[in-house]
Structure 1
Amino acid sequence: MRALILSLFLVGAGASHAQLVPPERAPITAPAAPKKAESDEANLQMHGHYRNKAGQDVHSPAKSVDGQVPAGASAKCRDGSYSFSKSRRGTCSRHGGVASWL
């Protein structure tokens, strides 16, 4: 009875049902994965993009202007370009394969 009165009071005060779920019964959500840095367009020789299977816009493999590893690169391809792939499958497939993962 006490809980019913409290919930009616909270609902009347503008609280939503989601706020009434006890913490021990609240759904558990996984923390968001850390976001990788986006590619630095100014330091890349090519500026193409493609859409991966997950529907994400991804920078096409490109060589860096200064020879350094560009921000957001996930792998170095055997032809010297850097891949910004979000998954390992197919990474550097048109660039001689993966030379090293970053």
Structure 2
Amino acid sequence: MRTLLTTLLLAASLVAPAFAQLAPPASAPTVPAAPKKAEPNEADLQTHNHYVNKAGQDVHSPAKSVDGKVPAGASAKCRDGSYSFSKSRRGTCSRHGGVAAWL
């Protein structure tokens, strides 16, 4: 019995360092969150409509910019010249001729 116990303790002392090398370090680096896109400035847009997407988020409807520049928070330019602020790619610019370019 004593020999069996000694053998088990010896085996455990040989295996434990190998498992310690597999464990992640105590202070593993974290992945930074993606930066949040800016919200559009209503003064830069010709229309001011909003809709609620499938995720329940309030999103500015596609709109043309007053000065023709890309407005803050735009995710795509639609084929009709308006800018989309969609939070997902699915359905973006669907009522505006489709996506001309992703921003």
Establish whether TM, by shorter chain, passes 0.5: yes
Q: 1:32 to 1:48 in 2, by over 3 A?
A: same
State yes or no: 1:45 paired with 2:43.
no
Which residue number corresponds to residue 88 of structure 2? 87
Which residue number corresponds to residue 77 of structure 2? 76
Cα displacement (A) at 1:32: 2.3
**Highest Rg: 1 or 2?**
2
The sequence identity of aligned pairs, in percent, is 84
Q: Secondary structure at the match of 1:95?
A: coil
Question: Gaps (5+ residues) in structure 1?
Answer: 1-22
Query: How far apart in 1 are the matches of 2:94 and 2:28?
Result: 40
Which residue number corresponds to residue 57 of structure 1? 58
User: Which residue type is aligned with residue 35 of structure 1?
Assistant: K
Cα displacement (A) at 1:33: 1.8
Question: Gaps (5+ residues) in structure 2?
Answer: 1-24
Q: Which 4+ stretches in 1 moved above 2 angstroms?
A: 26-32
Taking structure 2 as the reference length, the TM-score comes to: 0.70
CA RMSD of aligned residues (A): 1.7
Q: Secondary structure at the match of 2:51?
A: strand
